[in-house]
Amino acid sequence: MKSRNGQKLFGTDGVRGRVGEPPITPDSVLKLGWAAGRVMGGGNGGKIVIGKDTRVSGYLLESALEAGLSSAGMNISLIGPMPTPGIAYLTRTARARAGIVISASHNPYYDNGIKFFLPDGSKLPSSVETDIERLMDEPMRTVSAAKLGKAERFPGAPGRYIEYCKSTVPSNLSLSGLKLVVDCANGASYHIAPSVFEELGAEVIAVGVEPDGFNINENCGSTEPEFLQRLVAENHADVGIALDGDGDRVVMVDENAKLLDGDRILYIMISTRLENNLMRGGVVGTSMTNLGLELACRQKKIPFERVDVGDRYIHQKLRKNGWVLGGEPSGHILCLDKSSTGDGIIAALDVLEAMVSRSRRLSELAIGMEKFPQANISVPLADSKRLPNEVIMMPIVQEALRKVEQSLGSGGRVVLRPSGTEPVIRVMVEGKDKQEVAGFGQQLANVLTSIKIGS
C-alpha cells in the first residue's frame, strides 16, 4: 500500500487495508506495534492506549499490537470499543505517550486499519510516520525481560468519554422535547452516543447498536443515510443523526427527512457562532467542499481556505491559521474549540445546541446556503500495480479533464484524486446544471475505465 506522498504504509488516515493482506496481517501489525513503541516511547517506555471499533478482526490486531508494543518496552492500556475521537480524548487525559485506534472507519468489516494519536490527541505528522516506517525495515529487537511492557484495562473509559461529550455544551442545555433517531452504524459509538443524547433529555430511538463483528457500516451509518431518512419519516422525529463505524463522521437528517451533509452542518455552526459573536477566524474545507459553502462564507465575510482531502490536513491548516472550524462533506467536522480531532457526537451536539438556543428547527437553520450540484464517482483501478496519480496524469485523462474544465468555465470545478482508503480514483464534477454535471462526471469515469492494464 503506497500513499500519495510515497510512503510505504501510511495513507491519508493511518495504515489501512484488507485483513489478511499486507499490511494488515498479524506479523506486519506486530512489527508496526514494535516500531511505533520505539518511536513514540523514545526508548524510555511509558504508556500507550489502544481502542478499536467493532470489527471481528479487532481482537486479532489488538493482540498483535499489544505484543509489539510490549516488546518495545511500552505499557498498554486497553480501552476496547470506543469512537476514534474518544481515544484521542483519553490519550490526552491519561497523559499517554500515544493513542492507537484499530479501525477502518466507514469501510466494510473485512477491512481494518491502525491510526495513531500524539499525546495531545492530534494525529501524527508525516515526520513521525516516516520514523516509524524506517524502523519497519530494521530487525525487531525485543527489550530485556525486565523491561517488557505490561497490559491492563482502561478503567471507566465509556463513562469518562460520555461526560466529556456532555461538557462541550452548556450545563443548562436540555434536549427535552426533541425526538432523535441515532444510527451508530453497528460501530464504536453503539454504547456511547445514545447515552449522551438521552442523558441530556432527548427521546432517543437508537439503531445500529447491535454489532456482531460483521455488520459494521452495513446498510446503515453515515455512508448509507437512506436508512436514517426513512426512520426519521416513519417516527416523525425532529432530527436524525448518523455516525460512521468509528464515530468521527456525522451526517444529519432534518424533520422533513432531508439529508444534511458535512457542508451544511458546518454552515449551521458558522451561522450560529456569527449570531452569538463567537466566530473565531475563518473556515477550512477541502477540494471536495461544495462551492456553495465557500460562497456563503464569502457573503458573510468569513475567510475560507481549501486543503487536500483528509481531516489531518484540515487540522494542520486550522492550527497554522489559529482558526477552529473546518470539515468535509463526508461529515468529518472539526471544532477545535471543543475537541482536538473530528468528533461526530460533539458536532451533532453543537447543532442541537444551536436548535435549542435559536429556537429553530433543523431545516430552518440550514437556510441560506445554496449547494451546487455535484457528481461523485469512484472508479476502481484496472491495474493494481499502477499508482493512481500515474493514471490521473496520463495524456488521455488530462485531455479529457481539460475539455470538461473548459466547458464548465468559471461556474464549476473538477477534482480527480486518489482515494486515501481504497484502490480507486475519485471523480468529482461540480457546476450549476445537475444533468450537465452528471454527464461530465460519467465522461471522465468512462475515460478512466477505458485504460487497460499495461497501457
Grid cell in block for residue 325: 472550524
Amino acid at 134: R
- Do residues 66 and 32 lie in contact, with contact meaning Cβ atoms separated by under 8 Å? no
**Catalytic annotation, residues:** 105
DSSP calls for 302-370:
--EEEE-SSHHHHHHHHHHHT--EEE-TTSBEEETTT-SS--HHHHHHHHHHHHHHHT--HHHHTTT-P
Plot region of 372 (φ>0 → left; ψ -120 to 50 → alpha; else → beta): beta
Grid cell in block for residue 309: 482531502
CA distance 412 to 429: 7
Among 448, 452, 439, 436, smallest CA distance to 400 is for 448
Antiparallel, parallel or unpaired: β 111-117 and 98-102? antiparallel
- Do residues 179 and 205 lie in contact, with contact meaning Cβ atoms separated by under 8 Å? yes
Contacts of 228 (CB under 8 A, 6+ apart): 181, 183, 207, 220, 240, 241, 242, 251, 253
Element housing 132 (H / E): helix 126-136
CA distance 22 to 33: 15
CA distance 333 to 346: 9
How far apart, in Å, are the Cα atoms of 322 and each of 123, 127, 163, 397, 455?
Answer: 17, 22, 27, 38, 47
